Structure 1
């Protein structure tokens, strides 16, 4: 039997667990001295499908000035509204669990959850995430958008490895199932 595709979270966070400031700024992240692209290109080659929440998609489109950065990948944007697909993304307005189980059964590489917090919270609560690759920046921002929301869920993890990229530390975990 072939291996089933994995759902992987690959994301950067502050040392105190935030993925952005309250104003959705990532300026704190770009002030940290990394090494190359901090493992991004290597990770990007392991995936062919991307899952994004609508708010994160809107942020990306605003900050990338309309140039979608994930071309040549299958991209799905979860939205509570019915929206027309674009050349780059398909908008999904259906049950996340069923959609994800069907997606994982398809042939292909791994699937990346780009963000944001609401989408990730649902994936964690429903135990849909297989691996977490967290890159920690040596910055404390005090408040903002937390990577992990408070909720009634628990995941047990197993450390697969760690790496450093100058000032960044990458923590790679497998979710115990």
Structure 2
């Protein structure tokens, strides 16, 4: 199964935190929806999913399989809750998916990366710099390097530049 990690980064390289003072750009949200629909699924952490759902609406992309990775979430109607990245991928494989889209947050991204479960990354670099932020890491304890291959670079609009890399594992 091909796994694609999708994330928005700030211009100074942090994992972009959205909130009232820094809402997500509509261009990035549209791009996410396009990728989720193409994959037919996305994998997300519980807190990020709750943020996406906002006030309990139908969700961000309509009819796709949503898998939440959480150690302490209980059943959530309309989604599958699993305890690990491997369990998330196995679930999507069993449902017949050939691609998995990993959509956030930082803990989920770092978990998949540290376990060498990512084939591609899509980074949307937003036109904002943060004073304090989270990092996307391949290993939080060691100074490891993983070389990647640039597959594509394109502007999305709104000052966002998208970088797509292959990770050789």
The TM tier, using the shorter chain, reads 0.7 to 0.9
Unaligned runs of at least 5 residues, structure 2:
none
1:115 is matched with: 104
Hey, what's the Cα distance between the residues in 2 that align with 1:15 and 1:90?
A: 33
SS in 2 for 1:59: helix
Across the aligned residues of Structure 1 and Structure 2, the Cα RMSD in angstroms comes to: 2.7
Counterparts of residues 85-164 of structure 1 (less than 5 Å): 85-86=76-77, 88-93=78-83, 95-101=84-90, 103-104=92-93, 107-148=96-137, 150-152=140-142, 153-164=144-155
Hey, what's the Cα distance between the residues in 2 that align with 1:9 and 1:81?
A: 23
Higher mean alpha-carbon deviation, 145-154 vs 51-60, is at 145-154
> Number of residues paired by the alignment?
165
Higher mean alpha-carbon deviation, 137-146 vs 164-173, is at 137-146
The structure number with the bigger radius of gyration is 1
1:42 CA displacement = 3.7
1:85 CA displacement = 3.6
Give TM-score scaled by structure 1 length: 0.77
Q: Tell me if structure 2 keeps the 8 A contact 1:76–1:92.
A: yes
2:7 is matched with: 11
SS in 2 for 1:146: coil
The alpha-carbon distance between structure 1 residues 74 and 20, as it changes in their structure 2 partners (threshold 3 A), is same
- Counterpart selection for 1:71 from 62, 65, 69: 62
1:29 CA displacement = 5.1
Hey, what's the Cα distance between the residues in 2 that align with 1:115 and 1:37?
A: 13
Give TM-score scaled by structure 2 length: 0.81
Unaligned runs of at least 5 residues, structure 1:
none
Within the alignment, does 1:28 sit opposite 2:22 as a pair? yes
